[in-house]
């Protein structure tokens, strides 16, 4: 049996020596979609930061995309992040260059050199998020939903095993949020890519139910969306 893409056992999450979450146990398999919910300050973002190496894992066991989080050194963090796709609420696109050059910047920064392969990969990810006709646009020429689609395309460039999405619909209207959710669910299915999505948009979770992890009172709880809303 293959190892889960994401695995935490008896893990504790600290932020500047302050215990945020304790006894964290969770797994995510290839192609699985899961929500991470909880009130502001409950530890969602801190947990995501542990998973992409921004906060060290000091207690317990943890493995993400075949990378041991306990023994992770600073020099190994870029290698871990190349196996991940990270999507933020505020898009974080480079505002001074086109969509194509935003994606080109990431590929070059992660070691791609072959010009043909680079152009082909940019085309592939833009097609996969329905943005193939927008590659020469500047970010300010795009709507919020379109910018988030580009941010998702950027996250997919290096064929990630896991996408971590931190409130990816937080700045979007309900209709656009639904479109982004449909896209993320399809990506998990088609790319066999695990997606862990932090959100506090409970109305959207009711429309798109999935496995759910809740941060509350320094612990995490597992269940389906309905159970954890109760």
Residue 35 lies in a domain: yes
Give yes or no: residues 135 and 74 share one domain.
no
Instruction: Assign residue 58 the CATH number of its domain.
Output: 3.40.50.300
Confidence of residue 227 (pLDDT cuts 50, 70, 90): low
Taking CA atoms, 40 is separated from 32, 138, 148, 199, in Å, by: 25, 32, 22, 10
Tell me how many domains the chain contains: 2
| One domain for residues 202 and 142 | no
Helices (H), 99-201: 99-109, 115-128, 144-156, 174-191
Q: pTM for the whole thing?
A: 0.91
* pLDDT per residue as tens digits for the range 194-204: 999 999 888 88
In order of 37, 77, 131, 163, the CA distances from 125 in angstroms are 28, 24, 8, 14
pLDDT digits (tens, 9 = 90+) for 43-77: 998 999 999 999 999 999 999 999 999 999 999 99
* Closest to 2 measured CA to CA, from 192, 163, 158: 192
Let me know whether 141 and 165 are in one domain. Answer: no
Q: Would 177 be classed as within a structural domain?
A: yes
DSSP 16-27: TTEEEEEEEEEE
């Amino acid at each position: 049996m293959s190892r889960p893409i994401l695995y935490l056992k008896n893990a504790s999450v600290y932020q500047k020596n302050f215990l945020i979450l304790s006894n964290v146990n969770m797994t995510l398999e290839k192609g699985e979609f899961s929500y991470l919910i909880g009130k502001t300050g409950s530890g969602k973002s801190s947990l995501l930061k542990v998973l992409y190496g921004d906060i060290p894992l000091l207690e317990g066991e943890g493995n993400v995309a075949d990378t041991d989080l306990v023994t992770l050194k600073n020099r190994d963090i870029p290698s871990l992040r190349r196996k991940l796709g990270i999507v933020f609420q505020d898009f974080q696109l480079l505002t001074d260059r086109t969509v194509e050059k935003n994606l080109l910047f990431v590929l070059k920064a992660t070691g791609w050199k072959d010009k043909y392969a680079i152009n082909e990969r940019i085309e592939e990810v833009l097609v996969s998020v329905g943005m193939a006709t927008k590659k020469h646009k500047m970010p300010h020429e795009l709507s919020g939903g379109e910018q988030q689609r580009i941010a998702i395309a950027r996250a997919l460039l290096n064929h990630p095993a896991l996408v971590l999405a931190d409130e990816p619909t937080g700045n979007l209207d309900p209709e656009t949020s639904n479109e982004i959710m449909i896209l993320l669910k399809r990506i998990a299915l088609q790319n066999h890519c695990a997606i862990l999505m932090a959100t506090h948009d409970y109305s959207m979770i009711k429309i798109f139910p999935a496995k759910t992890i809740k941060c509350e009172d320094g612990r995490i709880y597992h269940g389906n969306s309905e159970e954890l809303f109760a």
